[in-house]
């Protein structure tokens, strides 16, 4: 069952300017592995984090670094969530994430779909892949 859907678009140059202008912003928004990526990929990941928050219903207190976009075994993007994001997902019964990223020209975009339903007892541990970690 689909619990939430989020979409976001980021102007790549605007994110780049913000990262250069605001000391420490990259560390607050991105995990270490994400920070090594080219700007267009960073923008797509930022869009994914915004889309994820929308799919969750934008609960307060989410930490940006508690959501990381990683490449899955087949190369497709996957969401790896922990901490505040995993807690919010568990409260909503979300057990699986679907994410799509794109960038073209000056824009990066992402769509996130949260899937789940009732959170069955005994599934509060860690999972990998499209679930939460």
* Per-residue pLDDT at 127: 32
pTM: 0.84
Asked if residue 123 belongs to a domain, the reply is no
The domain in which residue 79 lies consists of 2-116
CATH number at residue 98: 3.90.470.20
Asked if residue 89 belongs to a domain, the reply is yes
15-62 pLDDT, tens digit per residue, is 999 999 999 999 999 999 999 999 999 999 999 999 999 999 999 999
* Per-residue pLDDT at 118: 56
79-129 pLDDT, tens digit per residue, is 999 999 999 999 999 999 999 999 999 999 999 999 996 544 433 333 333
Burial per residue of 105-127, b for 16 or more beta-carbon CB atoms within 10 angstroms, e otherwise: eebbbbbbbbbbeeeeeeeeeee
């Amino acid at each position: 069952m689909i619990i939430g859907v989020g979409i976001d678009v980021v102007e790549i140059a605007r994110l780049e300017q913000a990262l250069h202008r605001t000391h420490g912003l990259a560390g607050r928004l991105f995990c270490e592995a994400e920070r090594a990526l080219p700007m267009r990929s960073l923008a797509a990941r930022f869009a994914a984090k915004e889309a994820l928050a929308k799919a969750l219903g934008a609960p307060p207190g989410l930490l940006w670094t508690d959501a990381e976009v990683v490449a899955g075994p087949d190369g497709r993007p996957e969401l790896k969530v922990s901490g505040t994001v995993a807690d919010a997902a568990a409260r909503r019964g979300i057990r699986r994430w679907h994410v799509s990223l794109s960038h073209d020209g000056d824009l990066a975009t992402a769509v996130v779909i949260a899937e789940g339903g009732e959170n069955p007892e005994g599934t509060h541990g860690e999972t990998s892949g499209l679930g939460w970690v």
